[in-house]
Structure 1
Amino acid sequence: MKTETADGATLETWTVDEVQQALKNHDIVLIDVRTPQEYMFEHIPGALLLPMSFVDCASLPGQTDKRIVFHCGSGMRSEKVARKAIAEGFDRIAHMEGGFGAWKSAQKPYMGTNMATGAPQMVQP
């Protein structure tokens, strides 16, 4: 994990391996900030959808029990949302480096769409 101090707060950048392990251990809440269409087509199992355009940091829960980790397609939107959370008072927040693209490149399992049927299916690369 990389850390950076931003406006007196800590911005964490997690690798896909760290996110996968933390999800397995139930240590994080993974929030997907992509669009509903992107999420419906393919997503990380267990990730919650909160599109970037709807993020209201004041409504996010505290992180006493679980760290919040944002992710998007490439890491750009999730970093913007993480920085927004810092600007709105979070003293520590995280996002996943490389986003969903890095997750797929690392051959992690994800929920995809069966193109023949349109049904969701687990993809185990």
Structure 2
Amino acid sequence: MPLKLSSAQLVADANSKIRTLTIEQARQLLGDESVQFVDIRDIRERLRSGTIPGAFHAPRGMLEFWIDPGSPYFKPVFGEKKLFHFFCQSAWRSALATETVQRMGLEQVAHIEGGFSAWEASGGETEAVGQ
């Protein structure tokens, strides 16, 4: 049975509705107290290649529950008055995640163009992730 929408179409639609930071814009925000980078990649990806320094890990599968203050899984970091910048490996999952949390009401959100792979390729600072 053919799909009604491809994953590429879903990502393109999400990108038309959200704010995207260039790698340079994101790198300039590193260390800014008003910004929280959020790594939505799987733990295996993080262990393999590290992460952006100071990034909060929110696995994609739990993101909606961790953001919702009415959920028993709510994480207080998402109640802070910060700008949340999501990233994954290639900026596909983060586009979908950013659109979803924006629809949920988290307004100060964006994602990083090209994801962590583009961050690394640009020479962006990284840190190792312990087990």
Does the alignment reach a TM-score above 0.5? Answer: yes
Equivalent-residue separation in structure 1 for 2:80 and 2:26 (angstroms): 16
Partner letter of residue 32 of structure 1? D
- Once the two structures are superposed, the pairs formed by residues 68-79 of structure 1 within 5 Å of their partners are 68-79=84-95
> Match of 2:89, as an amino acid?
G
For the residue of structure 2 that corresponds to 1:68, the secondary structure is strand
The aligned counterpart of 2:11 is none
AA of the residue aligned to 2:24 = D
Alignment RMSD: 2.4
Report how many residues are paired.
107
| Structure 1 unaligned regions, length at least 5 | 114-118, 121-125
- Alpha-carbon deviation of 1:43? 1.2
Q: Deviations over 1:32-58 (max 9, x none)?
A: 000011112221111111110111231
Could you say which structure has the higher strand fraction? 1
Name the structure 2 match of 1:110.
126
TM-score by length of 1: 0.73
TM-score scaled by structure 2? Answer: 0.70
Partners of 2:94 and 2:33 lie apart in 1 by 20
Query: Distance in 2 between the 1:92 and 1:45 partners?
Result: 20
Partner of 1:40: 47
Give the unaligned 5+ runs of structure 2: 1-14, 69-73
Report which structure shows greater RCO (CA 8 Å, sep ≥6): 2
